[in-house]
Structure 1
């Protein structure tokens, strides 16, 4: 049996072209049991939800959150991305509460795309860093633990298409 752990992840959805009522979306998300999510509605046509949820397997936990969110969104909404997957050094630095420059001075995995790194590849490099970087890694463990599942789900979205709200 896999031990329970907390996973930190974000879900990003594209909303249908016909404008959605933000208040209705927030109410529907609350009723769907997503009252633990931080919801972002800042970008037109998009909604982001940030979760910290426990479970034995990141992919199962993330997909359970997707399944809870989808019925609360307007018909035609599409899951666009699960984070963390591709991250900047600034994203990692913010999670570790260090400066981006502190990470630039360290040995890191090679970037994957346009200066972005795979979050799933970062922990082994960070574990071998001295001082504050290594010490801060434990506090960000749930975020890094969600990264391999986010990467797999994003690959499926790219290859098979994203789940949509019916």
Structure 2
């Protein structure tokens, strides 16, 4: 069994429950290994440190627990998936400038999926895979596995609309 760190974000505006009731329901559903953060927009982000055979199993079990505990909740996003150059630098313990230089090197096929203002946004699993091909080893195998699982869940959520 491996330990995975990840987050899931849900829209819970349709649940019509108090913060305390939501926390109690999530704990009873098996989310005792998580930290629940509530926003004013009717969303929650749940940060997990969960042990499982695979990241995908951990993500799917956590998502299922939340959806069972909070009927009407809607899955929004799994993390780690979307990252900035600063996030990549933090994961690899190198400078942001070094990350940008690597990405500007000819022959490197690391392209942003979008831009938010002046910040480029990448898919972490894709970046880690490309960096490994360039000879930069994956620093944390569980992070890579979690990034792949987050990418899969987010892609499925986009297809469902």
For the aligned pair, the TM-score class normalised by the smaller chain equals 0.7 to 0.9
Q: TM-score when scaled to structure 1? A: 0.76
How much does 1:145 deviate? 1.3
Which stretch of the first structure deviates more once superposed, 31-40 or 120-129? 120-129
How much does 1:144 deviate? 2.1
Alignment of 1:36 with 2:33, yes or no, is yes
Q: TM-score when scaled to structure 2? A: 0.78
Aligned equivalents of 1:39, 1:96: Cα separation in 2: 27
Aligned equivalents of 1:39, 1:95: Cα separation in 2: 23
Alignment of 1:158 with 2:158, yes or no, is yes
Residue in structure 1 matching 2:43, options 46, 52, 61: 46
Specify the alignment match of 1:117 in structure 2: 122
Which stretch of the first structure deviates more once superposed, 91-100 or 149-158? 91-100
Residues 53-110 of structure 1 show CA distances to partners (whole Å, capped at 9, x for unaligned) of 222332222101111122222x311011111222112222333444433422334711
Specify the alignment match of 2:59 in structure 1: 62
Residues 21-49 of structure 1 show CA distances to partners (whole Å, capped at 9, x for unaligned) of 11111121112221111211134210001
Give the unaligned 5+ runs of structure 2.
Answer: none
Aligned residues: CA RMSD: 2.3
Q: Cα 1:18–1:72, aligned 2, differ >3 Å: closer, same or farther? A: closer
Give the unaligned 5+ runs of structure 1.
Answer: 162-166
Aligned equivalents of 1:27, 1:102: Cα separation in 2: 45
Secondary structure of 1:105's partner? helix
Aligned equivalents of 2:72, 2:14: Cα separation in 1: 9
Aligned equivalents of 1:42, 1:99: Cα separation in 2: 31
Alignment of 1:12 with 2:9, yes or no, is yes
How much does 1:118 deviate? 1.1
Specify the alignment match of 1:164 in structure 2: none
Secondary structure of 2:51's partner? strand
* Contact map agreement 2:29 2:66 (CA 8 A) in 1: yes
How much does 1:117 deviate? 0.8
